[in-house]
Amino acid sequence: MSPKEDTFLFTNCSNPGSPEVTSQPSECLTAKSGYRLSVLCSLSCVLFVLLIAHLGGCVSDEVDERSALASYQQVLADKGPQQRADMEGTNSQQPLDLLKPTPDGTQDDVEIVIDPNTGRKVVALTIEQAIVRALANSPEIRVVSFDPSIAKQDITKAAAEFDVTAFGRVNYEQDDNPVNSIFQSGQSDVRLLESGIKQKGVTGSEWSLSYALTRSWDDLATRSLPTRYEPILAFQVKQPLLRDAWQQTNLAGVNIARLNHDVAVLGFRQKAEDVSTQVISAYWRLLQARRNFEILQKLLERTLETLTKVLGRQEIDATDVQIKQMEASAKSREAILLQASRAVIDAQDILLRLMADPKVSLLDELEIIPQTAPAVKKKELEQAEILGRAINKNPVMQQARVAVAVADINIRVAENQEMSRLDLIASSRLQGISHSQGPAQDNFNRGDYVSYAVGLSLEFPLGNRQREAELLRRRLERRKAVSALQNLADQVAIQAKERIRLIETSLAEIQIQADAAEAARIQLQAVEDSEPVRERLTPEFLLVKLQAQAALADAQRGEIKAIADFNISMAELAQTMGTVLELRQVSTALPVISEPR
């Protein structure tokens, strides 16, 4: 090492910046190096603790996906849109292909037979099969099945704000300036290579650690080292103490994203429950329509039999008035039967649309025969228990509670933003310098030049009206969210009570209509038994007989309607309570759809 470099590197102990050579280089160097090494060790320990704290505090974007509902949602999202003959309706030559689902093998085939008389497909379908197909294929559910997965990506985006970032910089700068002093450089050449890492912490802190190597040259006549290499290790940290400080403020975005994910899951669950309820309702309405058709068909057969008997007595005592009376009744009941036939097809199409099954689509000519017997017994639940479940588990109520939770987070953030800004700023730097890279790195490794700084930065807003207005706005939003929650609670309670009364009314009506049907059957049987012994066939007797036939049909139709209403009301009450997915028919369907194929 040259004497000039000795003078540059080993300076006076009492004045490290002095260019004079110490008279006792060994002792001074030892004391100076020991002090610097102790400082360096302390700073290294602090740096290590900070790094561990920050790196260990990385924010997770994981959500709980262990439930059957989550598995079901993930299966649908992974499948994507339902496979159809024309996926996007681009084939103008075959526009109906957009309505034709293609089999994907996810459900077992239903039993389909061909009616030898009509040539139409006849499908024997249980309510469990209908629900499985609707939950697997419903376009309505498919649309919202992507929302939780999309919302999960928003959690990842919000959590990514706290990821460690690596950065680097390469820079070359050359200056050539006119000078009029020997203490200024005219020409200079600087080359910089820098790399490091930085991160924002969950407490609001921002830190960076970087290593840079600079090669500099200039033509300053008084400089000891015209060409010099400077390795620098720098650490900086900024920790807010008031505004933008601590976890509840800095994790607000992540927490809100998680709550939005909960809203998306609740929306998916609500749609699954809505569709399940619609399928249950459509199934029982189809059963009701088919039973109505059968009852009205039997009524028409009885009417035609009576007409045949009247025509057979045309030569005895049947007049034209009586014949036309019977013909008019037969035609009227035939028209009613035609309407009932249309009602069966309409009810069947509603169920087919909900199922969206490729085996039994809307374009097929088929008949669905319900196989499940309806229930006629109510599960005993107290009104208070029903209302409690509805308030706690209804998806709409749960979404309203999430809205209040989001408002709470926004208030906490606004309260924090209203504060003054007070930041703790600290930095440390370790560097070396020499005429070449090797000695400069040795100089750096020995810790000869250590700098550090610590301070506070204060910012006090004098007006602060913007942040005060934001805080007031957030508080008003929370009041609005609470009012919406209370309004929904009232609506849900009223709906639950209405459906409880409908269940009780339908259950009582079932027995009443059954008794009425039995009485009408006995009356009709008595009328028919008296017919052979009557001396003559009078219009009054025919009218009584027709009325008895109609009364029996009306009572039977009323009974099946009450049974259908009861079963539908039970499903709708479960929908109000948020427990549709817990119904036996539905709970057994979810594992079938979610299991891997």
Cα separation, 480 vs 487, whole angstroms: 10
Question: Model confidence over 144-196: pLDDT tens digits?
Answer: 999 999 999 999 999 999 999 999 999 999 988 888 777 777 888 999 999 99
pTM over 0.85: no
Cα gap 483→177, rounded to integer Å = 70
Question: Quick one: tokens of 573?
Answer: 């009450």
Higher pLDDT, 86 or 393: 393
DSSP 456-501: EEEE--SS-HHHHHHHHHHHHHHHHHHHHHHHHHHHHHHHHHHHHH
**Of the given ranges (65-69, 123-127, 333-337, 472-476), which has the lowest mean pLDDT?**
65-69
pLDDT-derived band at 109 (thresholds 50, 70, 90) equals low
Residue 238 pLDDT greater than 70, yes or no: yes
Encode pLDDT of 242-278 as tens digits. Answer: 999 999 999 999 999 999 999 999 999 999 999 999 9
Strands 121-125 and 366-370: parallel
Other CB atoms within a 10 A radius of the CB of residue 220 amount to 17
Q: Tell me what percent of the residues of the chain surpass a pLDDT of 70.
A: 84
Q: Examine the pLDDT at 55 and tell me if it is beyond 60.
A: no
pLDDT in tens, 292-313: 999 999 999 999 988 888 888 7
Is the per-residue pLDDT at 3 higher than 70?
A: no
Give the model's confidence band at 25: pLDDT under 50 very low, under 70 low, under 90 confident, else very high. very low
Dist. CA 405–CA 402, nearest whole Å = 5
Domain layout of the chain by residue ranges: 68-86+97-157+254-407+471-594
Whether 12 has a pLDDT exceeding 50, the answer reads: no
The pLDDT assigned to 79 comes to 85
Query: Who's near 370: CB < 8 A, 6+ residues apart?
Result: 125, 126, 127, 283, 286, 287, 290
Q: How confident is the model at residue 16 (pLDDT cuts 50, 70, 90)?
A: very low
Residue 535: the pLDDT is 64
For residue 160 the two structure tokens come to: 């990514």
Q: Cα–Cα distance between 551 and 556 in angstroms, integer?
A: 9
Where does the pLDDT of residue 378 fall: very low under 50, low under 70, confident under 90, or very high at 90 and above?
A: confident
CATH architecture of the domain covering 68-86+97-157+254-407+471-594: Up-down Bundle (1.20)
Report whether pLDDT(45) > 60: no
Stronger pLDDT, 3 or 305, i.e. the higher one: 305
